[in-house]
Amino acid sequence: MRKEKEKIKIIPLGGLNEIGKNLTAIEFKNDIVVIDCGLKFPDEEMLGIDIVIPDISYLLKNIERVKGIFLTHGHEDHIGALPYVLKQMNVPVYGTKLTLGIVQTKLKEHNLLSVVDLKCVKAKDIVKLDNVSVEFIRTSHSIADSVAIAIHTPVGVLLHTGDFKIDYTPIDGCVADLARFAELGRKGVAVMLADSTNVERPGYTMSESVLGDTFEEIFTNAKGRIIVATFASNIHRIQQIIAAAMKYDRKVAVSGRSMENIMEVAMELGYLEVDKNVLINVDNINKYPEDRIVIITTGSQGEAMSALSRMAASEHKKISILPGDSVIISATPIPGNEKLISRVINQLFKKGAEVIYEALADVHVSGHACQEELKLMHTLVKPKFFIPVHGEYRHLKQHAELAVKLGLPSNNVIIADNGEVIEVTRDLIRKNGTVISGQVFVDGLGVGDVGNIVLRDRKHLSQDGILTVVVTIEKETGSVIAGPDIISRGFVYVRESEDLMDEARELVKGALRECEEKRITEWASIKSNIKEVLRMFLYEKTKRKPMILPIIMEI
């Protein structure tokens, strides 16, 4: 028998054809390296679901080979599934200092901190496993301390860029390690997996530091308090806001749990430099004149329970919006959040605040590479094979086209889906089979117990509500002893629809009588008769289709 060629297997279990729940398994011989372990926020149709995590059945089946989870950065879509995954699979977690700092607060909430093996690495570190070694390379992104990951194997180097942009003037001075990408490229990279988020955007993403000018201008002109909402994880943005506050002699208060948590971690670990006497407790803001105050807060996506939304709706316990406040929403709406943000903006304006948001000023820059930056990365790394990742199909497709335009043969580019197995040898990249993959819904304490049937019911209930029909019948004769009672929830308001309910009850009585006369005693048949007669009646009268739930009690 011919010895099988050595190959790298790449198995994305999340992050392809979606934005979120990034998790990719890289296999070589006895080593499985997991890159990232993210969550996804539920789509609109996932009613009642809190978060969505990847199905890791495949990893559990191969658990003895999983050498660790290697994190590129500390965003939810890259680390958010960790507490759930680690409960099933307690493997070492590798990440840079800030990333692990954020992970720690998460694990603490899940009472997992003491049992998980966190391994802190820094850019340029190399972790040697049995058959491969894993190298961390500095990148820039909208969170500090992000890295790309290079996996060195006998077949060649696999490079996963993580989320990145090219920022020549980053706030922390740590420019992406372009020299290392170039060096790897010169020596030869077998396969690259790269961020596709912004592939539709021409040109370059602006440097985070350009926002310094915007903040400067706003701080110069603001006569009242300044309230800035941004992503809690954007340490560099927060650093710039604090710098402006210090320059203009304003105190800084913080509101919003995630903002407080991450700022605390970032300060403790040295990622955020704040003069201690600049920070004040939010309880003390009224002790200072309005033009001496900056409040940094969460809610830049209009999330219902966030600090900014509560301020806008007059539901915040400690902060009321005042006429003359300047509120900066330093973010871009994530698709799906446009209306939520718009509502907050309207409420803030109504309270007399000046609201400064994307449509009106340059108050945000993206964390992802646009076309020209992607071209730079491709040109430096010159991979033999390429797999676009981190995007919906439209992004993957266009990133694949970009690679081909830069000279890669189209056979060397693979657009894959979650669960597909991609094999890379020295000469070839190809798909070879699939493994179990999918989405696991987290709802309250339940992980995976809400499935499609429950969601379908929630959808049905949400549209037209439910009519419950209860009747007690005598076992022997099938004759009705009590009921039928009809109860509506979410269908019509009964007090205003008494006639309809009366008619419905008569129809059910008729159906029951008919069953009795025809000696139909099977519950299933009686129930389906009730359902059918009600369904037709209600649709004719209302053109609605509530869920109909007949319940028969026998005595």
Q: List the catalytic residues.
A: 195, 368
Binder of a second copy out of 158, 491, 512, 531 (CB under 8 A) = 491
Taking the complex as a whole, how short is the minimal distance between the CB of residue 522 and a second copy, in angstroms? 17
DSSP conformation letters of 304-373: TTSHHHHHHTT--SS----TT-EEEE-S-PPTT-HHHHHHHHHHHHHTT-EEE-TTTS-----SS--HHH
238 or 507: whose CB is closer to a second copy?
A: 507
How many C-alpha atoms does 282 have within 13 Å on its Cβ side? Answer: 16
Q: Is 390 annotated as a binding residue?
A: yes
Binder of a second copy out of 6, 9, 17, 129 (CB under 8 A) = 17
With CB under 8 A as the contact rule, which of the stretches 97-105, 108-116, 379-387, 539-547 interacts with a second copy? 539-547
**Burial class of residue 112 (count of CB atoms within 10 Å of its CB; 0-12, 13-18, 19+):** middle
Taking the complex as a whole, how short is the minimal distance between the CB of residue 46 and a second copy, in angstroms? 11
Binder of a second copy out of 61, 122, 287, 350 (CB under 8 A) = 350
Q: Is 460 annotated as a binding residue?
A: no
Dig out the tokens for 532 from the structure. Answer: 């059918």
- Distance CA(40)–CA(62), nearest Å, equals 24
DSSP secondary-structure letter at 164? -
- Kind plus residue range of the DSSP H or E element containing 136: strand 133-138
Say whether residue 224 binds a second copy (CB under 8 A).
no
Say whether residue 542 binds a second copy (CB under 8 A).
yes
- Distance CA(180)–CA(381), nearest Å, equals 9
Q: Is 442 annotated as a binding residue?
A: no
DSSP secondary-structure letter at 494? G
Q: Is 50 annotated as a binding residue?
A: yes
Say whether residue 87 binds a second copy (CB under 8 A).
no
Cα distances (Å, whole numbers) of residue 191 to 56, 94, 273, 422, 426: 24, 22, 38, 11, 10
Taking the complex as a whole, how short is the minimal distance between the CB of residue 41 and a second copy, in angstroms? 11
Binder of a second copy out of 133, 261, 468, 521 (CB under 8 A) = 468
Say whether residue 342 binds a second copy (CB under 8 A).
yes
Residue owning tokens 């990622």: 271
Q: Is 236 annotated as a binding residue?
A: no
SS3 content of the chain, % helix, strand, coil (to 5): 35, 25, 40
Q: Is 367 annotated as a binding residue?
A: yes
Q: How many residues bind a second copy (CB under 8 A)?
A: 69
Q: Is 410 annotated as a binding residue?
A: no
CB of 158 closer than 8 Å to CB of 424: yes
Say whether residue 323 binds a second copy (CB under 8 A).
no
With CB under 8 A as the contact rule, which of the stretches 118-126, 152-160, 338-346, 429-437 interacts with a second copy? 338-346
CA angle 293/242/224 to nearest 5° reads 25
DSSP conformation letters of 419-456: TEEEEE-SS-EEEEEE----EEEEETTEES---HHHHH
Say whether residue 268 binds a second copy (CB under 8 A).
no
> Which residues in 26-45 contact a second copy (CB under 8 A)?
43-44
33 or 355: whose CB is closer to a second copy?
A: 355
End-to-end C-alpha distance for the chain, whole angstroms = 72
Binder of a second copy out of 30, 88, 346, 528 (CB under 8 A) = 346
Which residues lie across from 296 on neighbouring strands? 228, 254
Say whether residue 55 binds a second copy (CB under 8 A).
no
Q: Mark the binding-site residues for Ca(2+), compressed into ranges.
A: 48, 50, 443
List contacts with a second copy (CB under 8 A): 17, 43-44, 47-48, 200-201, 335-336, 338-339, 342, 345-347, 349-350, 355, 359-360, 392-394, 397, 443-446, 449-451, 453-455, 457-466, 468, 470, 472, 481-483, 485, 487, 489-493, 496-497, 541-544, 547, 549, 551, 553-555
Q: Mark the binding-site residues for substrate, compressed into ranges.
A: 232-234, 364-368
